[in-house]
Amino acid sequence: MLFNNPALIFVLVLLLIIFVFVFAVRSTARDTRQLVQRVTRQHSAIRQYDDVRLLCRAIHYLQPTTHTGIDYIISKGSSEQKPYIEEWFNSNVGQPTPEELEQAMKAVSGIDPAKDHAAQRIKEYPSVGDQLDAAYKARQGDHSEQVRLDHKISMIKGKYPKTDDSL
């Protein structure tokens, strides 16, 4: 008798749909938050420890499409232990073997930071804030700042060109 009323059935179905939607959104938000925290921890370790950075560069050298914190996790371990791949999540790309990693670390550690065009350019590029300010002024009609910064960036790119050694 109670379920013979079409309006009541509609309200119950609507509530069920809303419940499922809210559950899915909360679950996705929780998963996303955990992923962001994992990526943040990995990037913090990469910035803080040279040996973790070297291992990450070696993995990227072998598997350019993988990303730390998303496809794999590097663990620092203790002070006497070298960093290692704690977990490998990417089933589409095979995890590199320790031998492959050693060879890749030798290859990427041989790159001279003084010849690394990206590192040299970053030191001299205008700050992101200056670039955003120039972009804002350009959208408002004043292109002079944007032209000046673009010229400066072009000069820096010419000063530190990409080479096969730096790739």
* pLDDT at residue 163 greater than cutoff 70: no
* pLDDT at residue 119 greater than cutoff 80: no
The whole-chain average pLDDT of the chain stands at 85
Q: Which residue, of 110, 131, 158, is where some domain finishes? A: 110
- Tell me, what CATH number does 5's domain have? 3.30.56.60
Distance CA 161, CA 159 (A): 6
Domain encompassing residue 70? 1-110
Q: Which residue, of 66, 89, 110, is where some domain finishes? A: 110
What pLDDT score was predicted for residue 141?
94
Domain count, the chain: 2
Q: Shortest CA distance to 72 belongs to which of 51, 93, 101, 100?
A: 93
Residues 6+ away with beta carbon under 8 Å from 75? 83, 84, 85, 86
Residue 122 pLDDT level (bands cut at 50, 70, 90): confident
What pLDDT score was predicted for residue 48?
84
What tokens appear for 158 in the block?
Answer: 């010419």
Residues 20 and 72 in one domain: yes
Residues 92 and 155 in one domain: no
Q: Which residue, of 62, 81, 110, is where some domain finishes? A: 110
Residues 99 and 154 in one domain: no
* pLDDT at residue 88 greater than cutoff 60: yes
Residues 139 and 59 in one domain: no
pTM, full prediction: 0.53
Question: Which of 13-22, 44-53, 81-90, 158-167 is modeled with the greatest confidence?
Answer: 13-22
* pLDDT at residue 91 greater than cutoff 80: no
What pLDDT score was predicted for residue 152?
94
pLDDT tens-place string over residues 23-55: 999 889 988 998 888 888 888 888 888 888 889
Residues 92 and 131 in one domain: no
Residues 48 and 94 in one domain: yes
What pLDDT score was predicted for residue 167?
46
- Is the distance from CB of 58 to CB of 104 less than 8 angstroms? yes
Residues 92 and 14 in one domain: yes
Residues 101 and 149 in one domain: no
